[in-house]
Amino acid sequence: MNRDLVIVLDFGGQYNQLVARRVRECNVYCEIYSYKTALEEIKAMNPKGIILTGGPNSCYESDSPTYTVELFKLGIPVLGLCYGAQLMQFLLGGEVKRADVREYGKIEVFVDRSSRLFENVLEKTICWMSHNDYIAKIAPGFRITAHSADCPVAAAENEAEKLYAIQFHPEVLHTQEGTKMLKNFVMNVCGCAGDWRMDSFVEESVKAIREKVGKGKVLCALSGGVDSSVAAVMLSKAVGEQLTCVFVDHGLLRKDEGDEVAVVFGPDGPYDLNFIRVNAQDRFFSKLAGVTEPEKKRKIIGEEFIRVFEEEAKKIGAVDFFVQGTIYPDVVESGKGGESETIKSHHNVGGLPKHVDFKEIIEPLRNLFKDEVRKAGLELGIPENLVFRQPFPGPGLGIRIIGEVTPEKVRIVQDADAIYREEIAKAGIADGIGQYFAALTNMRSVGVMGDERTYDYAIALRAVNTIDFMTAEAVDLPWEVLHKVTSRIINEVGHVNRVLYDVTSKPPGTIELE
């Protein structure tokens, strides 16, 4: 595929993936590489632009991440962000010092609109700052193009050499015109065409897969989640019935979910493929009997998953290719720019199935961010309810049930969760919530129902908003929705006599309850 490439050189900043995502939102393809990547390698990739990320170090210390100054002499435009900006100034002869006070938060920045970077940006614009060191003196050949009350050099540039330094973080949404600035860089300065689009990606990928697979046999582990579903459909478009998808139903899916997957991918569905559903519920329940410790439950479910999958694969015999729904954050987080050994954690599998006989792995989504996977899914015509499915843990309801997992508890939590999801949809508030679900606390308490005393379970409801799943905030759900859900759960789901709403944020809680 011949397309413009922008490279993000990662200096350890927490927002490195965001930088790449924002660039891709400008329809420019972008990849992340470690700052340890050799100059020769970078040259060979022939990028249209290079972005240096932030990072936690001080560039003037001898053991801090650095780069050869030759990088700035390639004639390729370079944009340094935060640490990257300081490093650029430092390496080119400027001065970077520790400030008396750390500048942190949303700051008013005054920009020089004659800079190509700040075209159509407001003269006074809100930007996100987070730095201790500051650029005390710019490098020769540069001019200052932005400042704030506390920061004399919020941006500097050497237009002739196409070198740009920004002290703040245009990639985070708190920087109100950040995407515009990044777009100005990749379009105005780097001259990218902005033609990275999902429709052409899907088309080219399908063609490339078809050529690669030839008449080969392909095996895919399908979980029904977004990534493996999109990967499976892409393969089915490319090679049709040469593809076999194995879907292991461990009995810990949301209500009716196993059937929904079967409707879409089964023989009556719209896709050309061989679909095998393994109903392994009983196996999982018997392995989980008596187990209460959350990590142990995760492990058992993961291992049993592999075992069931391998048994099915053995029946199929040797295949040529094994499909994995690895996506770009998996690749970046596993620290491997090259060959990935990761298997999706949502399969909760600690590695590749060892006893599956295949020659090569196909990872059609390994360059895509989650939102791009969803776009690709829509391009492929996958139903929206599947494409926009909420994140769901690999061990499924197994970890939404605190304590021992039993078929009865699964039934309770499935029914409660279905009611909760239905009422949220009815209230029209689903789009404003990142993730929401019901969990079963292992607590039972005394209640009254009719004329009788009960001794039944408490269901906990959770609803959170999160940008990156590292932190999360509980959502202020409307009382009337909570009341309605509570009364329906109590009335319709047996053995529940209390409903609680979890308002804990993450940290200190996690998103899941176990």
Q: Point out the residues that are catalytic.
A: 82, 169, 171
Name the phi and psi angles at 368, rounded to 5: -110, 145
Smallest distance, ligand XMP to C-beta of residue 40, A: 38
CA–CA distance, 192 with 200 (Å, rounded to integer): 17
CA–CA distance, 406 with 456 (Å, rounded to integer): 15
Smallest distance, ligand XMP to C-beta of residue 452, A: 36
Smallest distance, ligand XMP to C-beta of residue 463, A: 12
CA–CA distance, 329 with 333 (Å, rounded to integer): 6
Closest residue by beta carbon to ligand XMP: 510
The answer to whether 103 and 129 have CB atoms below 8 angstroms apart is yes
- The vertex-127 CA angle with 125 and 128, nearest 5°, equals 170
- Interface residue list for ligand XMP (CB under 6 A): 298, 345-346, 348, 391, 393-395, 435, 469, 506, 510-512
Task: Please report the beta strands in 16-123, taking only residues with DSSP state E, as ranges in sequence order.
Answer: 29-34, 49-52, 78-81, 95-111
Smallest distance, ligand XMP to C-beta of residue 344, A: 7
Smallest distance, ligand XMP to C-beta of residue 397, A: 11
Name the phi and psi angles at 297, rounded to 5: -65, -45
* Peptide bond between residue 391 and the one before it cis (omega within 30 degrees of 0): no
The tokens describing 67, both together, are 């780069």
Give the type of residue at 117.
L
The answer to whether 48 and 76 have CB atoms below 8 angstroms apart is yes
CA–CA distance, 426 with 420 (Å, rounded to integer): 10
Smallest distance, ligand XMP to C-beta of residue 267, A: 29
Name the phi and psi angles at 72, rounded to 5: -85, 0
Task: For 199-254, give the secondary structure using H, E and C.
Answer: HHHHHHHHHHHHHHHCCCCEEEEECCCHHHHHHHHHHHHHHHHHEEEEEEECCCCC
